[in-house]
């Protein structure tokens, strides 16, 4: 699809103007979403929501092999390699 909105700093293109505005926070350093527990700031509301799991202990991602729980989806994805034997990184 067409991406008519271009970041004037890095050249990334976006479908929607609102997505460009959110992206530009990376360059400006703006972090409008603040954790009410520890004061950490985030560019996006979703990142704050994920961060709050540190404080709440919420772990919504469960391994379907061993039932271990994880707070972040990427932690579960990395953990699953224990069961599959996948080694995505090679030493030179």
Q: Strand, helix or coil at 14?
A: strand
70, 59 Cβ separation under 8 angstroms: yes
Measured CA to CA, the distance from residue 22 to residue 5 in angstroms comes to 12
Measured CA to CA, the distance from residue 75 to residue 70 in angstroms comes to 6
Structure tokens at 1: 């699809």
pLDDT higher than 90, residue 1: no
Model confidence over 8-57: pLDDT tens digits?
999 999 999 999 999 999 999 999 999 999 999 999 999 999 999 999 99
β-strands 61-62, 41-42 pairing = unpaired
């Amino acid at each position: 699809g067409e991406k008519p909105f271009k970041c004037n700093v890095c050249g990334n293109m976006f479908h929607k103007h609102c997505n460009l505005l959110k992206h530009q926070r990376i360059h400006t350093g703006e972090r409008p979403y603040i954790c009410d527990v520890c004061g950490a700031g985030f560019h996006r509301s979703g990142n704050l929501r994920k961060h709050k799991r540190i404080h709440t202990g919420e772990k919504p991602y469960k391994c379907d092999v061993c039932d271990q729980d994880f707070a972040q989806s990427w932690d579960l994805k990395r953990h699953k390699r224990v069961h599959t034997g996948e080694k995505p990184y090679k030493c030179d």
